[in-house]
Amino acid sequence: MCAPSPPPSPDYGAAAQAQGAANLEAARAQGRINNPNVIAPTGTQTVTWDGDTPTLTQTYSPQEQALYDQNSATRLALSKLGGTGAGALGEVIGKNLDLSGAPQAPGSAEAVRNSVINAMMSRSNKDLGDQEQNTRANLIAAGIPVTSEAFGKEMDRIDRARNDARSAAELAGGAEAQRQFGMGTDARKNAIAEILAQRQTPLNEITALMSGSQVSNPFSMPGYAQNTNVAAAPVFAGAQAQGAADMNAYNQQVAGNNAMMSGLFGLGSAAIGAPVGTFMKPSDRRLKSNIVHIGQHPSGLNWYEYDIFGQRQQGVMAQEAIHIRPDAVHMMDNGYYAVDYGRL
């Protein structure tokens, strides 16, 4: 019996090339699956292939083509109109921006504040002055000395009223100055914005005419898509799996062969240990390999050289000896023949 030969190693290089080819074919299939020809109410979409290069062609229906042509003509007319009006822009752009028509910027707020304070204090001073004269006259007429405490308290009261009037006038003056400054600033800003709008309006109109409005595409087609994945055949993984399976089968064969050889060695030893006067050993052709005929035994049987149980030995074939000396051939318990060379 011969030991099994190890399986050949998988050709991983060829498997990798085959995997690359499978990936390419999968990509080609994916492109074609994802891009069918489309027929819609607005027109058609067809995809043609030159090798791996796709060409996407969209064709409008007659009605949509007419609408598209009309929109294009309208845009062209607007563009020409804008070109005609562009000459008028020179008069606008060529002039410096004139802000003389806008109100002047508000002046100093301090002047407004002082004006309000002076106006309010003018009235307050007159009233308080009259009040002070009347109070003095009344106190003197009542016999209250000018140097007395009572006289001084009345004068202090009038002075406090005069200070309070001054504080109120300053607060009112500040608020009025802020209000007038804000109004003046807003008026100037609004006037400048109007001047700028008058200057920019013709520019915007010409720009709109020159660019034209955007014409929407009536097509509702998917376009070229690459969204469906087509898996390539797992060639390289298959080669790896096949190599592993072959090696596993080989290992099992080796293990089985080793077990059988171990058993045969034991059987051979038992046969050789037959009763005294015999020379029994396994000679079954099925146990031998690399058999070479090298001569004749004196009994007339062919004499061979062969491998058995891992050794190179010489002997006869039991299947031949059984026809000439059947008494020398015995069936062992394992079903193989042994020959008693002492009887040959």
* pLDDT tens figures, 284-298: 999 999 999 999 999
Mean pLDDT lowest for which of 39-48, 88-97, 216-225?
Answer: 216-225
User: Six-digit token pair at 86?
Assistant: 């562009």
Q: How many domains are contained in the chain?
A: 2
pLDDT bin (cut points 50, 70, 90) of residue 34 is confident
pLDDT at 13: 75
Q: Does 14 fall in a domain?
A: no
Q: Does 102 fall in a domain?
A: yes
Instruction: Write down the number of H helices and E strands in the chain.
Output: 7, 9
Taking residues 264-274, report their average pLDDT.
47
Most confident segment among 30-39, 205-214, 221-230: 30-39
Question: Is the model's pLDDT at 109 over the cut of 60?
Answer: yes
Q: Does 295 fall in a domain?
A: yes
Question: Is the model's pLDDT at 134 over the cut of 80?
Answer: yes
The percentage of the chain sitting over the pLDDT mark of 70, rounded to a whole number, equals 76
Spatial distance between the Cα atoms of 202 and 209, rounded to a whole number of angstroms: 11
pLDDT at 160: 92
Let me know whether 187 and 292 are in one domain.
no
Let me know whether 199 and 287 are in one domain.
no
Domain that holds residue 294: 258-343
Residue 260 near residue 335, CB atoms below 8 Å: no
Instruction: List C-alpha distances in Å: 296 to 24, 289, 304, 315.
Output: 67, 19, 8, 10
Question: Is the model's pLDDT at 87 over the cut of 50?
Answer: yes
Q: Which of 42, 75, 77 is nearest to 60 (CA)?
A: 42
pLDDT at 274: 45
Spatial distance between the Cα atoms of 165 and 125, rounded to a whole number of angstroms: 9
Question: Is the model's pLDDT at 135 over the cut of 60?
Answer: yes
Tokens 């290069």 found at: 53
Mean pLDDT lowest for which of 157-171, 279-293, 303-317?
Answer: 157-171
Domain boundary among 151, 178, 211: 211
Q: Which DSSP symbol is given to 300?
A: S
Within the chain, strands assigned E span 38-40, 43-50, 53-60, 280-282, 289-296, 302-308, 311-315, 329-331, 337-340
Taking residues 99-116, report their average pLDDT.
78
The mean pLDDT of the chain is 79
Let me know whether 194 and 274 are in one domain.
no
Q: Does 219 fall in a domain?
A: no
Phi, psi angle pair for 292, to nearest 5°: -130, 130
Q: Which of 334, 278, 288 is nearest to 315 (CA)?
A: 288
Pairing of strands 280-282, 337-340: antiparallel
pLDDT bin (cut points 50, 70, 90) of residue 276 is very low
pLDDT at 223: 60
Spatial distance between the Cα atoms of 246 and 239, rounded to a whole number of angstroms: 10
Let me know whether 130 and 201 are in one domain.
yes
